[in-house]
Amino acid sequence: MIVKRNELTWFERLYLPALIGGLKVTTRHFLNTLTTKTPVTQQYPEEPTRVLPGYRGAPYLVRDQDGHTKCVSCQLCEFVCPPKAIRITPPGPTGKPADRTNAEKMPEEFEINMLRCIFCGLCQEVCPEEAIFLKSDFSLTGLARSEMIYDKEKLLALGGTHPGIQKWKHKLDEAKEQETFPVKV
Amino acid sequence: MAWLDSLSPQTQFVFFTLLKIACVLGLLLTLVAYAVLAERKVSALIQDRVGPNRVNLPLIGSIPFLGQFLTKLGFWHPLVDGVKSFIKEDFTPGHVRKIYFWLAPAISLVPAFLVIAVIPFGSTLGAQKMVIADLNVGILYTFGIVSLGVYGVVLAGYAANSKFPFLGGIRASAQMISYEIAMGMSVIPVFLVVGDLNLGKIIEHQAQNGWNVLPLFGGGFSAQSLLLVPCGIVSFVIFFISALAETNRLPFDMAESESELVSGYHTEYSSMKFGMFFIGEYANMFAGAAMMTTLFFGGWTLPFFGLDVAPVAGEWWKGLLHIGIFMGKMLAFMFTFMWIRWMLPRFRYDQLMDLGWRRMIPLALANIILTAGVLALTNR
Ligand code: SF4
Ligand code: SF4
Between A115 and B321, whose confidence is greater?
Answer: A115
- Reference A109, options A73, A146, A62, A64; nearest CA is A73
User: What kind of architecture, by CATH, is found in domain A49-164?
Assistant: 2-Layer Sandwich (3.30)
Please tell me which of the candidates B45, B49, B344 has its beta carbon nearest to residue A22. Answer: B344
Interface test with A, best of B40, B41, B43, B46 (most A CBs within 10 A): B46
Spatial distance between the Cα atoms of A161 and A151, rounded to a whole number of angstroms: 17
- Segment B328-340 shows an average pLDDT of 89
Residues B195 and B73 in one domain: no
Give the model's pLDDT for residue A181.
67
At B247-259, the pLDDT tens digits run 877 788 777 777 7
Residue B19: inside a domain: no
Question: How many structural domains compose chain B?
Answer: 2
Is B146 found in the same domain as B40? Answer: no
Residue B41's contacts (CB-CB under 8 Å, 6 or more residues apart) are B51, B52, B73, B74
- Higher pLDDT pick, B245 / A38: B245
Residues sharing a CB contact under 8 Å with residue B261, sequence separation 6 or more, in sequence order: B164, B165, B167, B168, B171, B267
Task: Locate all alpha helices (DSSP H) within chain B, ordered by sequence.
Answer: 2-5, 9-46, 66-73, 77-87, 98-116, 138-146, 149-160, 163-194, 199-209, 223-246, 258-261, 271-296, 316-343, 349-354, 361-377
Find the mean pLDDT for residues B210-229.
69
**Are B71 and B175 in a shared domain?**
no
Question: Does the residue B313 lie in any domain?
Answer: yes
- For a ligand 2 pocket test, name from A74, A117, A167, A168 the mutation site with the most ligand atoms within 8 angstroms of its C-beta: A74
Q: Which of A136-140, A148-152, B17-21 has the highest mean pLDDT?
A: A148-152
Measured from the Cβ of residue B62, the count of other Cβ atoms closer than 10 Å reads 10
Is B202 in the same domain as B76?
no
pLDDT at residue B354 above 70? yes
**Residue whose CA lies nearest to ligand 1 atom number 2:** A120
Q: Is there a contact between B48 and A29 if contact means CB atoms under 8 Å apart?
A: yes
- The reported pLDDT for the residue numbered A77 is 93
Q: With beta carbons less than 8 A apart as the criterion, state whether A120 and A56 touch.
A: yes
- Which of the residue ranges A169-173, B205-209, B292-296 has the most confident prediction, judged by mean pLDDT? B292-296
For residue B253, the model assigns a pLDDT of 78
- Distance, CA A75 to ligand 2 centroid (Å)? 5
Domain of residue B42: give its range. Answer: 29-87
- The predicted pLDDT at position A150 comes to 92
Query: Are residues B223 and B333 located together in one domain of the fold?
Result: yes
Are B51 and B163 within one domain?
no
pLDDT of residue A122: 93
Confidence at residue A119, expressed as pLDDT on a 0 to 100 scale: 93
- A interface test, pick of B43, B50, B347 with most A CB neighbours within 10 Å: B50
- The pLDDT score that the predictor gives to residue A114 is 93
pTM of the model: 0.77
**Which residues sit with their C-beta closer than 6 Å to ligand 2?**
A 71-77, 88, 126-127, 129, 131-132
Number of Cβ within a 10 Å radius of residue B375: 18
* pLDDT, position B380: 55
What lies within 8 Å, CB to CB, of B351 at 6+ separation is none
Around A36, how many Cα atoms within 13 Å sit in the side-chain half-sphere?
11
ipTM of this predicted complex? 0.72
Query: pLDDT higher for B227 or B161?
Result: B161
Contact status, residue A60 vs residue A158, Cβ threshold 8 Å: yes
* B307 found inside a domain: yes
**Atom 3 of ligand 2 has which residue's CA nearest to it?**
A127
Does one domain contain both B213 and B127? Answer: yes
pLDDT at B40 over 80: yes
> What pLDDT does residue A184 have?
56
Cis bond leading into A182, ω under 30°? yes
